[in-house]
Amino acid sequence: MKKNVLITGGTGLIGRRLTEMLLERGYLVSYLSRSEKTYPDVSVYHWDIEKEAVDPRALDSMDYLIHLAGAGIADERWTDERKKVIVKSRTESIELLARIMKAQGQRPKAFVSSSAVGYYGADTGGVKHTEQSPPGDDFLAEVTVKWEASADHVKDLGVRTVKLRTGVVLSDKSGALPKIAAPARFGLGAPLGDGDQWMSWIHIDDMCRLYIEALENESWEGVYNGVASPPVTNAELTKLISQVLHRPQWIPKVPEFALDLAFGEMAEVVLGSSYVENARLRTTDFKYEFPDLEGTLQDLLLKKA
């Protein structure tokens, strides 16, 4: 019998590709969604977090649970109100499901929660972080600490729980890469800020394969840094993008003050330096399909070149 994977936030960047890969592997996929929109080959169940309402059919058919829900970090400026939305969208949603599962005696075989390398802080220079490193003290770290603590409500029900601290996911569909590559296609690529900031990256397909491995491999538990290795500086990334696209890079660096004006406090997302190592993944049998950045960029960028 096919196993059913219930996903919160299934329509985002990771969720869409993960759904495709799960379906290819013969899983059934269900979404918890606030809208009434339907998706091919996916069962959609409604939930209203503020009203604490969840369609009971969603949990009745659940074999595995994946938590991806959360308001986009870089979608809007970080006003005080927006910060509250970012935190609550990640925490209250999974806490609601945990309460319902506890009350009704329902348990998934495994639970995988998205997290982020922001746990270590948005801008930590060249300090190398592993899963054993302490959390940072800025807003992104605060969000991630609360996010992971909320996931523990499911863990406390006796469910094997995996938390994937995600780095910068590279995809040709959306996210950071298309925005960075767009000017490079016209020979206008440029490092952001001083270009020395580290970026801990991963190919979208490898990120989704991590989720599937976390579901299927019963030895996986706890926190894993969802990044490839090694990290790359912003200057190296933009230069390599131009090389892969066979375009010159004539434009000087984009100054920090221009990014501060454009993004406000949120500029730390693009200017921050984060050197994160996949220490725990290196102790497993997981093999990256795209272990190096050049191969990743060729796969993603040349599809549209």
pLDDT digits (tens, 9 = 90+) for 243-292: 999 888 766 666 655 555 555 554 555 667 999 999 999 999 999 999 99
Q: The domain spanning residue 140 has which CATH number?
A: 3.40.50.720
Q: Is residue 188 part of a domain?
A: yes
Angle, alpha carbons 141-52-110 (nearest 5°) = 60
Q: Is residue 77 part of a domain?
A: yes
Question: Is it the case that residue 80 has pLDDT exceeding 80?
Answer: yes
Beta strand segments in 4-41, E = 4-8, 28-33
Residue ranges making up the domain that contains 65 = 4-234+264-301
How many structural domains is the chain composed of?
1
Mean of the pLDDT values across residues 53-70? 95
Q: Is residue 217 part of a domain?
A: yes
Q: Is residue 143 part of a domain?
A: yes
Write down the pLDDT at residue 210. Answer: 98
Neighbours of 51 (CB within 10 A): 8
Q: Is residue 220 part of a domain?
A: yes
Torsion-angle region of residue 37: left (phi > 0), alpha (psi -120 to 50) or beta?
beta
Question: Is it the case that residue 68 has pLDDT exceeding 50?
Answer: yes
Q: Is residue 128 part of a domain?
A: yes
Write down the pLDDT at residue 260. Answer: 56
Alpha-carbon gap, residue 21 to 191, rounded angstroms:
33
Prediction pTM value: 0.93
Q: Is residue 12 part of a domain?
A: yes
Half-sphere exposure of residue 116, counting CA atoms within 13 Å on the CB side? 28
Q: Of the candidates 7, 2, 61, which has an alpha carbon nearest to the alpha carbon of residue 208?
A: 7
Q: Is residue 221 part of a domain?
A: yes
Q: Of the candidates 249, 254, 231, which has an alpha carbon nearest to the alpha carbon of residue 239?
A: 249
| Residue of 193 and 39 predicted with greater confidence | 39
Question: Is it the case that residue 189 has pLDDT exceeding 90?
Answer: no
Where does the pLDDT of residue 305 fall: very low under 50, low under 70, confident under 90, or very high at 90 and above? very low
Instruction: List CB contacts of 112: < 8 A, sequence separation 6 or more.
Output: 64, 65, 66, 67, 161, 162, 163, 164, 211, 214, 215
Crossing angle (nearest 10°) for helices 176-184 and 234-244: 60
Lowest mean pLDDT among 6-10, 202-206, 261-265, 275-279: 261-265
